[in-house]
Chains A and B, each alone.
Chain A
Amino acid sequence: MKRVYVNEEWCLGCHLCEYNCAFANSNEDDMILACKDKSLDARITIEDRDDGVHFAVNCRECKDPLCLKSCIAGAIFRDGDMIRIDKDRCVLCYSCIMACPYGALRPTKEKVMGKCELCTDNGRKTPACVEGCPNKAIVFEER
């Protein structure tokens, strides 16, 4: 399955992917409306290390996902190769956050848990983080 991969060799730590993600998932058609004076609501996070290494973290679509196992409401489910969240069922208990070793989940403004669904849930062909990366550090491909 095609998913988002990160090549830290080319990651500049510019954090544009976070803003592109937040915009893509905002239901706004203007990035300024989506992001200005608002807390950043992104499903990808850049980890910056002092030695200059930057790395974008998002859901890795685990084969054996701990989040799914830990979900008390049965909101996290497998859809083919992808892991999705049923927003109607989520009770925001944070169990998945505790379980995910990558920190790929976080609560959204809609008061449910959110994770990267490769922009399949917002009508895009390519994930916004990949499209907006200025240095091809984030790629969307089959491996």
Chain B
Amino acid sequence: MSLVKLAGGRIVDPANGRNSVVGDLYIRDGRIVEDPGAGAKIDQTIELNGRVVMAGGIDIHSHICGGKVNLARTLMLSDHHDHADAATGLKRSGGGRATPSTFVTGYRYAEMGFTAAFEPAMVASNARHAHAELADTPMIDKGCYVMLGNEDALLRMLAANAEQAAINDYVGWMLQATQALAVKAVNPGGISAFKFNTRELGFEAPGPHYGVTPRRIVAALARAVHELGLAHPLHLHCNNLGVPGNLETTLQTIAATEGMPLHLTHVQFHSYGTEGDRKFSSGAARIAEAVNRNPHISVDVGQIMFGQTITASGDTMMQYRNRSFARPKKWVCMDIECQGGCGLVPFQYRDRNFVNALQWAIGLELFLLIDDPWRIFLTTDHPNGAPFTTYPHLIRLLMDRGFRNDMLQTINKHAAGASTLAGIAREYSLYEIAILTRAAPARILGLRDRGHLGSGAAADIAVYTEQADKEAMFARPDYVFKDGRLVVRDGALVDIAWGATHVARPAFDRGIERSLGDYFERFQTIRLEHFAVGDGEIEDRNQGRLVRHAGGGAAR
């Protein structure tokens, strides 16, 4: 196979401790290889002349596939007509900014230098659909987190005080059956409670019918994920999303972990206080302090950006509660299979609106007040806070204090006044951005050959020309390689690649299938053998490939 040399790049590779080291990279068979020595025949040399070289970006939390995303597309017809992509000899057609079609999702990520993205809210019953969409999503590696913690099967086990070992087997089986990489809990207990007409559920409140508290659900799932040896800790969307004062729920949740690793997702939506005339204030400082103090906690932010988007969530309880904020005025709530749900509420975040403006500031405060870049991840909770295509803008806000403060001048004055943002001097470095968007995501997902540029890594590479305007820089990479294939040149797609689907395959006792099979037959409307998604259903389509990650803490 041919050998390609990327010569004279400025390598920003935090996983290997390389901070702007000028050097060469060699690519062979889709991998980064050692310098082959003076005698080696180099088939192609690309002179980088000091351009910035990073691993391809990895998005750990982006709603890109499955039933709720397709419902979101349905509600956002004009998003597609207004942002339509034509077919070319290379690209399929499609469109959408907030809810792009599958092909366009892949193209937009690659055009920013991102080479992997993960769907964080797969309803177990909808797994086949989610993977069918991913099969039509090119350019990126991908995977899904299965939502557990509201399904009857687990809640009934907890209500009956099932042993942790049985819960571990159940979680292990669910991961395999739904071809998931990680476990997500969304408003644990709350989605179930909403089906029993409970409209609010606190962290310590026993839910209806089962009498199980969210605390109990979180503890059981976090332990199962840990004991199964998954790389990624429980990915938790806390109770009380969006409710003023919910920072207390978030702090309660952190306190309850007792050292068990936990990832708190879109923590911006969970960092609200009740101070001030409007009873809505930033809780970022207290959340950041708790995160800084607890090294077993990681977070992604879920930054909002101003403009039209749509929120797509498994959290029916909170989406129903927020329905009056829908713009345009339409919304969907769906109860799903005694397992979960989904809710869609279109949103226009407005910079002149006090709450929206403060949400924007709270997200940025979190980014700037949480010290360890290995434990905070750059997300907009696409499309809930903003489309993922706003990442270059977000990176500029983090790296450029002057720009940030200029933007702060343009938002609602009361919100700007209520935020500490103006006084925060921190600016992220390129190295830290590479941690946030490359090295740390790979590490927390256990993708050992992604997110870095060391020998043996997959050749997912993005090359940027350093510019004062970091938004312009990150919006338009000079080169992007996917598994060694040059797919983007000067910000434009030049080739198509198909990434792999990452799944976790921890060991568990398959004996659980007997009782589960009986459960499906008696109560569900699908049999266990049809519920489970087969490997072939992924591998047989569009160069589909599964990467199976064994448990047992291999990635630790």
A and B associate:
no
